[in-house]
């Protein structure tokens, strides 16, 4: 049941980004809602749920953005694992909300850098067709950071509620 | 070291291997069906959101630009009067042209062969300025062909699979299409500009260029036919000291709301 909820939420986020936020872009960028979901699930949940969200969201975005397959899936997985490591094994576990803004900022930069590098490499092997410029990728990253941080706290609140609901489902399953 | 024995790392390695396999299959054109099916998932939500977002954007856009709209209205009225005068002349020229063609025995040129395609996805992250179409090699789509909407050029095909294809929009800085100024015949190069839409570049510095001049395709590349409208000249971006003349192009097409397009075969 929880995987169905995660899938629906991820599809919904990709849908509203494509249909809604695209019309209100900041510096040509839209908020990175799926990335935010991956980081928040990694920070809030004690299991590997973030990997599921990273794979579903990554595959959806890889297909819809026309860039090389793996650009989003692999970056979400790596960012999710790093976020998990930071929030669980390092000091950040004490107050995750305080650290989420800079984690999100770094994650968006890393992700855009990765997409540029990955696509640039795959173009040489004829597996990607749309070249990206580093300067544009970085400018879009700045726009995406501003937009994502603006939506961070409402998103955090929604993920908290989602988390409570999934925990409630998990507990009901146990007993 | 403990990390490489974890479940998370195992999942990552499996996904990495699957990605490599997928990229290989994609090159061979075996994954179009899966891709099309998966891309359908967020479409209803995207379309429903668009129904709300587009009017909201138009409303606030109109509200902020009301002064501009009033002056634009006056300009358009003037332009309409001038165009009505031009129309009379054009009718006359058209009749003359038709007669001359018949005299010379020219065959009427057949219209371009068009393939209608549905836009499956427009890059939701704004990174690529590209769109995925539901038609591919099976119906004769191939890289380099022009994509039009409402009789205006909107992009060109960069990849075609069996059932889907990817088109780069004119707003993408990597796009380059030969174009000419309809009035003077001066040839330039159309390219996208990050955050500025479309620009025409490489025009001779001595070429006359005015605002509202219509820009059409030049037809030098055989896959993009001549005379497809691209837009009108907006602001002149170059200075007299620049090597080439450069201008912004205004297109009436809403590139992020495209739903159906035609590919010129």
| Per-residue pLDDT tens digits for A27-72 | 778 888 899 999 988 887 778 888 999 999 999 888 888 788 888 9
CA distance B200 to B18: 42
Cβ–Cβ of A48/B11 closer than 8 Å? yes
Q: Is the pLDDT of residue A89 over 70?
A: yes
Which H or E element spans position B233? strand B229-236
Asked if B14 is an interface residue toward chain A (Cβ–Cβ < 8 A), one would say no
Q: Is the pLDDT of residue B219 over 70?
A: yes
Q: Is the pLDDT of residue A95 over 70?
A: no
pLDDT > 70: percent of chain A = 94
Cβ–Cβ of A130/B130 closer than 8 Å? yes
The answer for residues whose C-beta is within 8 angstroms of residue A101's C-beta and 6 or more apart is A149, A152
Strands B152-160, B244-250: pairing kind: unpaired
Do B194 and A27 touch, CB atoms closer than 8 A?
no
| Domain covering A2-174, topology | Arp2/3 complex 21 kDa subunit ARPC3 (1.10.1760)
The ipTM value here is 0.82
Cβ–Cβ of B174/A130 closer than 8 Å? yes
- A16, A23, A133 ranked by CB distance to B173: nearest: A133
Mean pLDDT of B145-155: 89
Q: What is the pLDDT of residue B75?
A: 85
Mean of the per-residue pLDDT values of chain A: 85
Among A158-172, B8-22, B104-118, B168-182, the range scoring the smallest mean pLDDT is B104-118
| Domain covering B111-265, topology | Thrombin, subunit H (2.40.10)
Cβ–Cβ of A63/B39 closer than 8 Å? yes
- Identify all chain A residues contacting B64, using CB atoms and an 8 Å cutoff: none
* pLDDT confidence bin for B107, thresholds 50/70/90: very low
pLDDT > 90: percent of chain B = 8
Best probe of the A interface among B1, B42, B57, B256, by most A CBs < 10 A, is B42
Higher pLDDT pick, B62 / B140: B140
CA distance B141 to B242: 39
A-proximal residues of B, 127-146, CB under 8 Å? 127-128, 130-132
Tokens, residue B127: 């990174």
CA angle B33, B34, B36 (to 5 degrees): 65
Asked if A117 is an interface residue toward chain B (Cβ–Cβ < 8 A), one would say no
Return the domain boundaries, chain B: 65-104, 111-265
Mean pLDDT of A128-132: 77
Q: What is the pLDDT of residue B1?
A: 56
- A18, A32, A55 ranked by CB distance to B15: nearest: A55
Give the burial string for B179-190 (b: 16+ CB within 10 Å, else e). bbbeeeebbbbb
The answer for residues whose C-beta is within 8 angstroms of residue B245's C-beta and 6 or more apart is B188, B203, B204, B205, B207, B209, B236, B238
Q: Which residue of A has its CA nearest to B47?
A: A19
CA distance B9 to A37: 20
Q: What is the pLDDT of residue A74?
A: 92
Return the domain boundaries, chain A: 2-174
Mean pLDDT of B12-33: 85
Cβ–Cβ of A77/B23 closer than 8 Å? no
CA distance B63 to B69: 10
Q: What is the pLDDT of residue B157?
A: 92
* pLDDT confidence bin for B110, thresholds 50/70/90: very low
């Amino acid at each position: 049941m929880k995987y169905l909820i995660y899938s629906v939420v991820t599809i919904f986020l990709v849908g509203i980004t494509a249909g809604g936020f695209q019309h209100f872009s900041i510096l040509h960028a839209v908020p990175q809602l799926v990335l935010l979901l991956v980081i928040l699930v990694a920070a809030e949940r004690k299991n590997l749920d973030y990997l599921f969200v990273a794979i579903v969201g990554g595959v959806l975005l890889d297909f819809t953005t026309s860039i090389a397959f793996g650009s989003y899936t692999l970056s979400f997985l790596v960012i999710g694992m790093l976020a998990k490591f930071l929030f669980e094994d390092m000091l950040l576990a004490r107050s995750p909300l305080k650290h989420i803004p800079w984690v999100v900022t770094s994650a968006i930069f890393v992700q855009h850098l990765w997409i540029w590098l990955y696509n640039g490499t795959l173009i040489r092997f004829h597996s990607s067709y749309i070249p990206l410029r580093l300067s544009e990728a970085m400018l879009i990253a700045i726009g995406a950071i501003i937009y994502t941080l603006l939506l961070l706290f409402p998103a955090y609140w929604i993920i908290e509620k989602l988390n409570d609901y999934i925990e409630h489902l998990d507990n009901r399953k146990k007993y | 070291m403990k990390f490489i024995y974890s479940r998370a790392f195992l999942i990552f390695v499996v996904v990495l291997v699957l990605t490599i396999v997928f990229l290989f299959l994609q090159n061979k054109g075996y994954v179009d069906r899966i891709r099309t099916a998966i891309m359908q998932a967020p479409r209803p939500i995207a379309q429903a959101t668009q129904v709300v977002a587009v009017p909201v954007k138009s409303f606030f856009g109109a509200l902020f630009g009301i002064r501009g709209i009033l002056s634009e209205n006056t300009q358009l009225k003037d332009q309409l009067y001038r165009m009505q005068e031009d129309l009379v002349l054009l009718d006359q020229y058209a009749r003359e042209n038709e007669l001359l063609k018949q005299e010379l025995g020219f065959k009427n040129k057949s219209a371009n062969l068009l393939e209608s395609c549905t836009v499956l996805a427009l890059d939701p992250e704004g990174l690529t300025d590209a769109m995925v179409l539901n038609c591919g090699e099976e119906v004769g789509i191939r890289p380099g062909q022009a994509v039009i909407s409402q009789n205006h050029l909107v992009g060109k095909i960069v990849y075609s699979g069996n059932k889907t294809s990817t088109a780069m929009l004119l707003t993408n800085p990597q796009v380059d299409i030969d174009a000419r100024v309809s009035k003077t015949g001066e040839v330039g190069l159309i390219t996208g500009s990050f955050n500025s839409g479309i620009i025409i570049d490489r025009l001779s510095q001595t070429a006359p260029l005015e605002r509202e001049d219509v820009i059409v395709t030049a037809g030098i590349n055989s896959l993009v036919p001549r005379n497809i409208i691209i837009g009108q000249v907006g602001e002149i971006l170059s200075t007299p000291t620049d090597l080439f003349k450069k201008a912004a192009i205004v297109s009436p097409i809403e590139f992020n709301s495209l739903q159906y397009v035609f590919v010129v075969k």
